[in-house]
Structure 1
Amino acid sequence: MQYCKNSGNGRCVVPDMKLEKLVVLFLDCQTTNSNPKKGNVIEIGWACSNFSRDNGVDATSVNSYLLKQPVGHEIPERIHTITGIRRDEVDAGHEPREVWSQLLSAADEIARLNRFNKCPLVIHYAKFETPFLIHLHTKYSAARGFPFKIICTHVLAKRLFPELPRRSLRAMAGYLGYSVGQARRCRDHVVATAFVWQALVRVLKERLCITTFEKLQQWLDQPMLSTGRERTYPMARETRRDVPDKPGVYRMLRSNGDVLYVGKASSLKKRVNSYFRRSCRHPEHILEMLSQAKQLDVTVTESVLEAAILESDEIKRLSPPYNVALSKGQRDVWYCSPNLLEFSQTLTKRCRIGPLVSQDAVARLAVIRQVVKKGNIPDVDDARLMAALGIPEGYTPDHESTRAGFAAFLEKYAQQFDTEHTEL
């Protein structure tokens, strides 16, 4: 085995180093901003692994540290929301210099094991972490050379799976059969990065016969050619085309059987296939979900109402990561009485209109029903009445719009309403 030498273009070349034998360091950072000039690293985690380990990296093998923050540097609310990290936790954390020193020691040991002059560092979206690593290096170890040869699994995935809708860490790990937790924390992300790396190394070998570190770098040095292909989804067309044209509940699943999303439909066939229309514009989280969904499970119901009830029960039972509106700890399903004044979380003889995801909208309709008479509108000067209707101060609804909104509600539930109680 040979020591790493510079090839003239700054690349690190070891001709006979097999990727399957390469000892690498996996790393992830959580920060307060995407720019190191405006934010700091609040958590950093890493783990060493190679293919001689049957199980790769697990959570117990990850070194994860919360870093103390400069005086006056707060954790933005949005960062707390997605990570769960609190200010008091980082206040009790580690000094950045000490953690960086530990990371350098791990890097030097891996470089020695590989007989490289740099440590192979695998990061999923290296474009984000690299500036922060350079910043820490400049601040604490500028006297020595930058110790890492960075490999970005996102770049590898983009080349290997160009038609996949999304290639974020969550999307790629899910596509390959690993579930990433909801909270963005280093320990889980390091394990996921290791899983993705090992899977991609196998794909490189099987599809392109790339087995060495040198061949990998040569492949990455080549310009990426545009495929010009349409977006391709993991779920086979036959799977979604065979869905019955009936009401029911559908479940999107990963290849390992994890349920990603539960939905209801008046027509399962139309709803499921609507996700895959070329003209359909999905938000990011749906594209991320579709990048992982390989299997489909459906339950046909007798009615849309039964489908809605089953959907609610399934979401609460399974807690799918891509369900928001009806997940545990958030909204509940409600049913209301024909006079819109009584509510129940279960379908009863008195409360038979629904299911509804909110009491508020129906409660406001009940207020409208009580105060609106033919040809009249609510007293817009009555602040308490306006608040009960959910109308912002200074906004006056016109009578026609009020009647139209209530009429639309009645039309939707015409058969369930007692008509003698619904006239405005």
Structure 2
Amino acid sequence: MTKQQVSIFWFRRDLRLDDNVALHHALQSKNPVIPLFIFDTDILESLPQNDARVGFIHESLQKINAQLNAIGSSLLIKKGRTTEVWENLFKEFAISEIYFNKDYEPYAIKRDWDICALANANNAACFSFKDQVVFEEKEIIKADGLPYTIYTPYKNKWLEKYKSLAPLEEYDTQNYFSHFCKNHFDFPTLQQIGFEESEIKVIPYNLTQIANYQETRDFPAIDSTSYLSPHLRFGTVSIRKLVNWAARKNDVFLSELIWREFFMQILFSFPKVVTQNFKSAYDGIQWRNNEEDFRRWCTGTTGYPMVDAGMRQLNQTGYMHNRVRMVVASFLCKHLLINWQWGEAYFAQKLLDYDLSANIGNWQWAAGTGCDAAPYFRVFNPDIQLKKFDEKGIYIRKWIPEFDLGYGEPMIEHAFARDRAIATYKAGILK
């Protein structure tokens, strides 16, 4: 018996049914659509069994599956090495077309090339679309055709192009839901995937305080941030809807969304930043990389309240306030002279919103080795940052309950650390 021809829509960083570009196009193909998600073991193998991000992905997929069940369809979940999963899918189904939204990280780019080559070998077509960004790859470039490496001119060009298109088109999917395959695939439990529930949870995002974002965003005790970043990372919210909304509400908040796209295009244009400094002149820095110092930074026991509160917040919740991220990153790289890659790797383990491009971009910014980075001689004073942004100590007392009971002394004196950092950087800069 001849198998029915199907199209497959492949969920990745776009865990929603509404305003999903590739899904919009898949549902208008000539074939019924099977929605698919693959738990990629090449990624999962490096994660702890209680990784909160895997739990969030599973929870988001459950919500999608419930929506699909309501219309007589369901989500196909697979686990394994991506290429092997697709090889088996071609044996199981008569796949004529594959639809997915683009991902711009080096691993994902290679993965997608491999899958499209496999599809071609099986006489299937691959269609990819821009979805997780407003402007991708080479859409925002300088007059000479080269990518921007400074944020402000990039932002200005981005805004100019956005205003010519605003409001951005949002992609209807709901009117085509009848084109999903009528099927019932079993939905696996988290345990069946090989993971377990985490005590850490992704918080629903909240945009109610964005009107005052520029006045409150630097004060961690106010807790006025949106908690949007994990939702953007995994695509449970549409960037087009969000940008159209932010452009009407708050320019500073919109600028933060543009930073996200700036770092994505830096990673796409300069993939070396995954393992190297953007500014190779800084390759000669002689990092101390003291493992005991690093342990104290990781555990939030440096004796600097702002640093320790931030690290404890990260360890306990998977979140860290953005102002505090700058302070803890600067402290690791400059006070302790530990390579930014150590901090980047630790954040990659802990952050619920971990995104390769933003994490690398921000860590190299703090270390002074990245594009448009803070100058090497700028060394945050954690005590001054505390006085400016948590003067009453509300934030630090929340995360350091022993603060008023004889809190420990700083592990290193600021003035000494600052002078040492500047001297080390100056000596290490390659001429």
Do they fold alike, i.e. is TM over 0.5? no
Structure (1 or 2) with the greater strand fraction: 1
TM-score (norm 2): 0.27
Structure with the higher fraction of residues in helix conformation: 2
